A and B are shown apart, each in its own frame.
Chain A
Amino acid sequence: MRDFSYSRATSADQARQAAIQSGAMLLAGGTTLLDLAKCGVFEPEAVIDITHLPGFSDIEMDAAGARIGALAKMGEVADHPAIRANFPAVSESLLLAASAQLRNMATVGGNLLQRTRCPYFRDPATFPACNKRSPGSGCSAIGGVTRNHAVLGTSEACIASYPGDLAVALVAFDASVDLGGRTVLADEFFLTPGDRPDRDTVIEPGEMIAGIVIPASPAAKNSTYLKVRDRQSYEFAAASAAVGLELEEDGRTVRDIRVALGGVATKPWRARAVEQALVGKALDAASVEKASRLAMEGAVSHGANRYKIELAPRVVARAILQMGGLA
């Protein structure tokens, strides 16, 4: 790890000013920053610790929804009574992520900005070619080992999957990211790689995530996060789904449904085609399974990640059936 200077930000403005300087990086929980600095992926010259800024870790809930400060810890948010009661999928997405230790350290703002776990991206010494790290250098994953790479939203430049869980739940429930000066829908905050895989999000140098805003809704209140992975715990998703469901008074007909996928796409992936196929319809296993397959419209595999195209619709279907009381 290259040496860097360390300072504590005294105000949000000062942090933003400092972060504009080339070579400067904001430090929250440090669980992505230090990990990638050790890999040689990040080479900061100045690290600015923002965790002592007051007022950025509050979790507030009113009738309109929740506002979560960017510096709130993953574990605190997961266990917060208002989040658990009104946004079970958000709480579960956090509880099923990383480990208890990491959830005590990592912030929700940093969580959104975690980088892909593409093993080629993480190993610059062995694999110099990576368009996400060094634009124009090529992609070592295409034609390589792709078990955890994306099948949705890929480009010829990059097929890396977005690894986070929280963002999947946020995208399902139309949450926004508060960047101080502007607020962006979570779905629009994340970018597909296209020909600029070095850009994961719309955040600009000198911008800081101030918080996350999640609107309350009956679907968000009746929601779940289902995560399937290679081992039971402490692992990223092979495929995951955030699902929220609101039924009509008859208890069968779908009034509102939200579906987003993780572990299979280059960004947290809202599956609107699945939602549209089910809204206004009576829920039954056959129609749910058929609709869930629409989540994979446009999917492209690169060898070893082919299984995700089969797995992801089943994860979506199981989550919907669970919420509908049919599984």
Chain B
Amino acid sequence: MTRTVHLSLEINGKTRELDVEPRVTLLDALREHLELTGTKKGCDQGQCGACTVHVDGKRVLSCLTLAAQVEGRQIATIEGLAAENGDLHPVQAAFLEHDAFQCGYCTPGQIMSAVACIREGHAGSDEEIREYMAGNLCRCGAYNSIVAAVREAAEAA
């Protein structure tokens, strides 16, 4: 017997309804049920940061969060970052400017993490950015450009 729960999630300012098994993670709910595939699945075990989203303004890993856990919370994903008119968020623009990716797979997680990192006040130096962005791995090794992009976006913020 498959049990499902009915959830109503606040994602990027919109209410989304879905029926899922209780074991479904926020990551799978976004990707498989809500067609929000910007959030990426890397390791699915908390080890890479590709699935980073914001819950109530804080960066978390959606692969280790149950969708049911975040009912009633404000969820923000990469799809909600740019302005309505399509203008990029300053961190997105800085990633483009600095070529802060190669394959791009880690990029949505990097950007969501960077937005929070800057907001937390943890982007004061390259060293601090490296430490506080350590939860986002990049198999392509675009780290130097990522640090440059985060630093520029932090200085402009």
Contact = CB atoms under 8 A, between A and B. Distances in A.
Interface of A: 1-6, 27, 29-31, 34-35, 37-39, 47, 49, 51, 98-102, 104-105, 232-234
Nearest to A39: B45
A31 B46 contact: yes
B48 to A, nearest CB: 10
Question: What band does the interface of chain B fall in when counting residues whose beta carbon is under 8 Å from A?
Answer: 35 or more
Contacts of A99: 49, 134-136
Given A3-B22, A6-B68, A105-B65, A38 B116 contact: no
A5 B3 contact: yes
A30 B21 CA distance: 17
A30 B64 contact: yes
B131 interface: yes
Nearest to A30: B64
Judged by DSSP, the binding face of B is mixed
A236 to B, nearest CB: 11
Closest 8 CB pairs of A and B: A99-B135, A233-B134, A6-B22, A234-B134, A104-B58, A6-B68, A34-B64, A101-B135
A100 B23 contact: no
Contact of B132 (A39, A47, A98, A100): A100
Given A30-B65, A35-B46, A104 B60 contact: yes
Nearest to B22: A6
Contacts of A27: 66, 69
A39 B133 CA distance: 26
Contact of A102 (B46, B122, B132, B133): B46
Contacts of B52: 101
A1 B45 CA distance: 12
B6 to A, nearest CB: 12
Given A6-B66, A30-B66, A101 B49 contact: yes
A229 B29 CA distance: 35
Nearest to B3: A5
B25 interface: yes
Interface in B4-57: 5, 21-23, 25, 44-46, 49, 52
Interface in B67-94: 68-69
Given A34-B64, A233-B130, A2 B23 contact: yes
Contact of A104 (B3, B44, B59, B131): B59
